[in-house]
Amino acid sequence: MPIRDRSHWRHAFWQIPAIILLAGLVGICVNYLRPDSIPIVGDWSAKTSMAAATQDKLSIPLAGAANLFSEQLAVFIDARDEQEYADGHIRGALSLAWDDASERFPEIAGDIPSGTMIITYCDGEGCHMSYDLAVFLRDKGFENVWELANGWTVWQDANLPVEEGNAVSPRG
């Protein structure tokens, strides 16, 4: 006669904490041993994040980017894909989609005088293409490269100048 086996629930009752405990112990031990360990309790306060962003992420605040824009002291580079660039971008920005950065870099390199400040941007708080592009450009020898985090959104929210256009040529 088939009967329902209720012992599974009894097993689940101790297995759930056991699996979580096992994962916790291994995770913390491995973290302790590895060279690139992170603190178990990190400091994610807004102040720390901002400081870290400025030092490690090459991030420039919107006010600074807007000043450099109005003084025409910086070249803006859009790291999104060409279609998104064509739909709208910071006025005068060059297009260098991160996905094609290696191939298309020579096209725009000649348009940027050495020593010029460069500000990269993409869109969304989770978008890191602008950061990657900034690092890429630094690797290519441009020393003065910064990232405007979540750039397209914050630029529009601040009603700063934008334009539309195709990304056929580097200058759009």
Partner 1 sequence: MEEKSCSYSQDAKQHPQIMYAGILYHAARWILGIVFIYASLHKILYPAAFAEAVYRYQILPDWLVNLTALVLPWLELFLGVFLIIGLWMPGAVVISNLLFIIFMSALSYNMARGLDISCGCFSTSPTAGAADIWTVLRDGMLLIVSLYLLFATFARTVRVRD
| Distance spanning both ends of the chain, measured CA to CA | 76
Instruction: Look up tokens 């807004």; give the residue.
Output: 46
Point out which span in 20-28, 84-92, 141-149, 158-166 binds partner 1 (CB under 8 A).
20-28
**Residue 30 interacting with partner 1 (CB under 8 A):** yes
**Residue 98 interacting with partner 1 (CB under 8 A):** yes
**Residue 40 interacting with partner 1 (CB under 8 A):** yes
Rounded CA-CA distance 135/140 in Å is 9
Sole binder of partner 1 in the list 33, 35, 44, 139 (CB under 8 A): 44
Q: Which of residues 147-166 bind partner 1 (CB under 8 A)?
A: 150, 153
Contact 167, 82 (CB under 8 A): yes
State the minimum distance, in angstroms, from the CB of residue 150 to partner 1: 8
Rounded CA-CA distance 120/59 in Å is 9
Sole binder of partner 1 in the list 58, 75, 119, 129 (CB under 8 A): 129
CA 18-19-23 angle, 5° bins: 115
Q: Is 117 left (phi over 0), alpha (psi -120 to 50) or beta?
A: beta
Integer-rounded Cα Rg, in Å, for the chain is 24
Point out which span in 41-49, 66-74, 104-112, 137-145 binds partner 1 (CB under 8 A).
41-49
Q: Of 11 and 171, which CB lies nearer to partner 1 in the complex structure? A: 11
CA 162-159-126 angle, 5° bins: 80
Sole binder of partner 1 in the list 94, 127, 137, 149 (CB under 8 A): 127
- Given the rule CB under 8 A, which residues bind partner 1? 1-5, 8-9, 11-12, 14-16, 18-20, 22-24, 26-28, 30-31, 34, 36-45, 98-99, 123-129, 131-132, 150, 153
